[in-house]
Structure 1
Amino acid sequence: MSAQKGKVIARNKKATHEYHIEDTYEAGLVLTGTEIKSIRQGRVNLQDSYARIDRGEAFIVGMHISPFEQGNRHNVDSTRTRKLLLHKKEISKLIGLTKQQGLTLIPLDLHLKNGFAKMSLALAKGKKLYDKRQSAAKRDADRMIERRIKEQNR
């Protein structure tokens, strides 16, 4: 799926640090004209946002899109809840997984694909503190190994 992505506009950097990623989905967004213009300018923040499923529809909550500077009365609330476009089968599968297994839907990134704004969603499970420490230790060890390999190749 990542090979088909277009230009990445915003990325949720905390997602892989805070969660174990189980599965990913790509969803479209229902936006207004001034919102897509702000997105194309890169004025989006995915921090502290999450997705939820309500009455058979998916929504993204807490995503901040700055108001378009040239917009006037057509600008909308910057943190409003926006609808996500997913297939019905995907939504029913996500309902089951989030309710039964306690998984969370979080946004990984927002990108443009063929002129349309798309969001990569992850089905994730929260990491415990010791998991975060293990991840950091593994990352440090990998860096040390890379340094040693570079030193030997010189």
Structure 2
Amino acid sequence: MKEVAKNKKALHEFSIIETFEAGLVLKGSETKALRAGRANLKDSFVRIIKGEIFLLNAHISHLQTTHSHFRPDERAPRKLLMHKKQIDRLFGAVTRDGYTLIALAIYLNSKNIFKARIALAKGKNLHDKRESLKKKQADLEAKTAMKNFGKNL
């Protein structure tokens, strides 16, 4: 599994409830651009529109070799492929419980097919973000202390 694009900001902004795998509908030039690693998921999100699920605001840059007439929009909505039961379940969770759907990563699976890892998430409050930063900093300090302790012996 080769990860092409990752949304690092999502783990800071949201607490992840459950993750899902979805297929990604792409055009040919977008596929080549993704293989070259030209994607950004920083401000992307997922919406359910008329029973179909879409990845919105994901930026996939075009390559210089792409013909100017066939260049797709870089921030175009891209359809995600999931089973109808999964989409209905996600729609229920979003409408009933107030969760959010976010894109965590785009990756190539073992069969060389692009997949999107999406998550059902709940937004963090400011104090939750501060707590996670403190925990991350404490873990980093503990790790460096353990590393340095072994060197002093």
TM-score band w.r.t. shorter chain: over 0.9
- Unpaired runs of at least 5, structure 1: 1-5
Residues of 2 paired with 1:85 and 1:15: CA distance?
A: 21
1:151 aligned to 2:151?
no
Cα deviation per residue 1:57-90 (whole Å; 9 max; x = unaligned)? 0000000111132121221111001100011111
User: Letter of the aligned partner of 2:146 in structure 1?
Assistant: I
User: Letter of the aligned partner of 1:92 in structure 2?
Assistant: D
User: Letter of the aligned partner of 1:12 in structure 2?
Assistant: N
**Aligned residue number for residue 3 of structure 1:** none
- Unpaired runs of at least 5, structure 2: none
- Write out the 4+ residue segments of structure 1 that deviate beyond 3 Å after TM superposition: none
SS at 2:104's partner residue? Answer: strand
Cα distance, 1:150 vs structure 2: 2.4
Aligned length: 149
Cα distance, 1:111 vs structure 2: 0.4
The counterpart of 2:91, out of the listed 95, 108, 128, is 95
1:78 aligned to 2:78?
no
SS at 1:76's partner residue? Answer: coil
Identity %: 45
Residues of 2 paired with 1:54 and 1:107: CA distance?
A: 16
Residues of 1 paired with 2:81 and 2:40: CA distance?
A: 19
Residues of 1 paired with 2:31 and 2:104: CA distance?
A: 18
Residues of 2 paired with 1:91 and 1:121: CA distance?
A: 12
SS at 1:14's partner residue? Answer: helix
How do residues 35-54 of structure 1 correspond to structure 2 at under 5 angstroms?
A: 35-54=30-49
Deviates more, 1:136-145 or 1:117-126: 136-145
